[in-house]
Amino acid sequence: MYLILLSILIPILSGIFLLVRKEFSDRKHLTAAAAVGFILTGILVIAAITTAYGTSFELFHLTRTLPIVFAVDDLSVLFSALTSIVFLCAGLFSFEYMKHENREKRYYGFYLIVFGVLNALCFAGNLITFYLFFEMLTLSSMPLVLHNESHEALMAGLKYLFYSLCGAYMALFGIYFIYQNSDTLTFTPGGVLNGTGLSHTGLLLITAFVMIIGFGVKAGMFPMHAWLTAAHPAAPAPASAVLSAVIVKAGVLALIRVVYYIFGVSFLQGTWVQTTWLILTLVTIFMGSLLAYREPVLKKRLAYSTISQVSYILFGLAVMGTEALTGSLLHAAAHGLVKAVLFLCAGAIIYTTGKTRVDELRGIGKEMPLTMWCYTIASLGLIGIPPTGGFISKWYLAVGSLSNMLPVFRWLGPVILLVSALLTAGYLLPLTIHGFLPGADYEYQKLVKKEPSFYMTLPILVMTALSVLMGSFPTPLVDWVANAVHAMF
């Protein structure tokens, strides 16, 4: 119990300490304080998921019938582990990258607070606890978007706040109705709706749809996706990495909790809610890939890619089958690793060269070969090519769709996934091709190697290696995720 609380409180209190403390006399002291917060939180998360697995406890009651509950289950383990890996790697990257940004103390303060809030989301044991920290996530992460205080960042932050609050209020609307039609808001595999609730099927289906749209905002699902392409390019590169790799996964986790632990698959399967949700996910996958293909700015291209790739996960959730859900959870992990690598590579390129557009990066592979090899491997993972984890997750998504008895969607899903994969290759690999093969007119005599420092290179290498390991030796993770999925039905 105490380890769960400490994994939440330590980063939040550390972040508050950095925010209220006077400026450090030496930048090394600031980075050392931030590093202690990152490492200690990571250790506490590992301790919590190993010692408190399968347990839950009530912290206190908001009202007589609304307890604040924390628990550790399979979803907690998966999402908290992913969060810790990405936050630790992006945090290490920040130590070098943030040298050319102002207000570092504020950045590290809010970065740590977001780390703690995400841990609370992962360990939330009921819907009201989850919702409270879901709202806190928006408020604590918005300063990361606003960090450089430019007009672009201000507009992006306001858009992020507006969209996120609209989505959260839609979810809150649904929570009111669930509370009236269920005995508990505690996450329960198979759902918690009781007999009385099932007698109001029409109203509850509308409630489920409103909540899917509301929580889908954080996951960048059409039609509430526009905040994402504004926020990601405006934020510093390591903040963009955690936004894309982890923070959008809060929306994914919310949808899993609502669909599989509150309403239940048996209640939603075969309804207009499932059909509409499937349509929205496929539209988002295709639209995001197409817009990414047309986008010339690197970080914005990666942001459109996030819209598309996260909806791969949502598609698997909407299919509501065991293999498709297995693919969704695997893709949540695979996407988290490779998208963090891609954003950190983009950050390394911007930091080293100052260039932000794809058409400016001809020959970048000659200048930064190690960074671009990691970028290329991560791109293969996003496309879904072995031996990366993206191949394994997309395989399960396609097989799960084909094995389900959904009219039209049974074959349309894999077709859209394949078209999206081709578009993904079309918008990611040209940077590799022109980067390593710039052509005969490239000025080779002026070539200067510009690899970033150890602090920026190491986290990129670690997450690239993890992505390859996930695809090369997938059996342990696949078996573990499959067992977790079967327990959710």
Q: What is the pLDDT of residues 400-424, one digit of tens each?
A: 999 887 888 888 989 999 999 999 9
- The C-alpha angle 406, 409, 412, rounded to 5 degrees, equals 150
Mean pLDDT of 316-343: 94
pLDDT grade for 203, boundaries at 50, 70 and 90: confident
As a whole number of angstroms, the distance between CA 37 and CA 21 comes to: 15
In a domain, residue 50? The reply is no
Question: Does residue 355 form part of some domain?
Answer: yes
Rounded to whole angstroms, how far apart are CA atoms 251 and 218? 5
| Average of per-residue pLDDT across 93-118 | 89
Residue-averaged pLDDT of the chain:
89
Q: At what angle do helices 454-472 and 322-353 cross, to 10 degrees?
A: 160
Banded model confidence at residue 444, pLDDT cuts 50, 70, 90: low
Which among 308, 171, 143 has a CA at the least distance from the CA of 253?
Answer: 171
Residue 359 forms part of a structural domain: yes
CB 4 within 8 A of CB 52: yes
Tell me what the mean pLDDT of segment 290-304 comes to.
Answer: 90
Say if 420 falls within a structural domain.
yes
pLDDT of residue 171: 92
Residue 126 β-bridge partners: 186
3-state secondary structure of 70: strand
Q: What is the mean pLDDT of residues 55-80?
A: 89
Q: Is 63 helix (H, G, I), strand (E, B) or coil?
A: strand
The secondary structure of 431-453 as a DSSP string is HHHHHH---TTS-GGG-------
Q: Distance (Å, rounded) from C-alpha 355 to C-alpha 362?
A: 11
Those residues with Cβ within 8 angstroms of residue 287's Cβ, 6 or more apart along the chain or in another chain? 222, 307, 308
- Asked whether the predicted pLDDT for residue 365 surpasses 90, the reply is no
Contact, 212 vs 273, CB < 8 A? yes
Residue 306 pLDDT more than 60?
yes
Give me the mean pLDDT over the 110-119 stretch. 94
Which pLDDT belongs to residue 462? 95
Alpha carbon 238 to its chain's center: 13
Strand segments (E) across 42-87: 56-63, 66-71
Binned at pLDDT 50, 70 and 90, residue 189 comes out as confident
Report the alpha-carbon distance of residue 70 to residue 126 in Å, rounded.
7
Integer Cα distance of 220 and 311 in angstroms:
8
Q: How far apart are CA 471 and CA 477, in angstroms?
A: 10
Alpha carbon 463 to chain centroid, angstroms: 15
- Residue 263: CA count within 13 A, CB half-sphere: 29
Instruction: Tell me the two tokens of residue 441.
Output: 């007119």
pLDDT on residue 83: 94
DSSP H stretches of helix in 437-474: 454-472
**Across-strand partners of 63?**
66
Q: Are 204 and 193 in contact (CB under 8 A)?
A: yes
Residue 350 lies in domain: 319-473
Write the DSSP symbol of residue 474: -
Classify residue 47: in a domain, yes or no: no
* Residue 200 pLDDT > 60: no
What CA–CA distance (Å, rounded) separates 310 from 287? 12
Residue 49 within any structural domain of the chain: no
**Is residue 223 one of the residues assigned to a domain?**
no
Distances in Å between the Cα of 58 and the Cα atoms of 66, 132, 397, 468 are 10, 15, 36, 40
In a domain, 185, yes or no: no
For the question of whether the overall pTM of this predicted structure is more than 0.95, the answer is: no
Cis bond before residue 223 (omega within 30° of 0):
yes
Interior CA angle at 83 toward 428 and 124, to 5°?
A: 135
Q: Is the pLDDT at 328 greater than 80, yes or no?
A: yes
**E strand spans, 343-454:** none
Which residues make Cβ contacts (< 8 Å) with residue 368, sequence separation at least 6?
A: 348, 349, 352, 449, 450, 451, 452
Confidence of residue 229 (pLDDT cuts 50, 70, 90): confident
Judged against a pLDDT cut of 60, whether residue 442 lies above it is answered with yes
| Residue 179 burial (CB count, 10 A) | 14
The total of structural domains in the chain comes to 1
Contacts of 165 (CB under 8 A, 6+ apart): 138
Q: Which of 21-30, 193-202, 217-226 is modeled with the greatest confidence?
A: 217-226
Q: For tokens 């879901």, name the residue.
A: 134
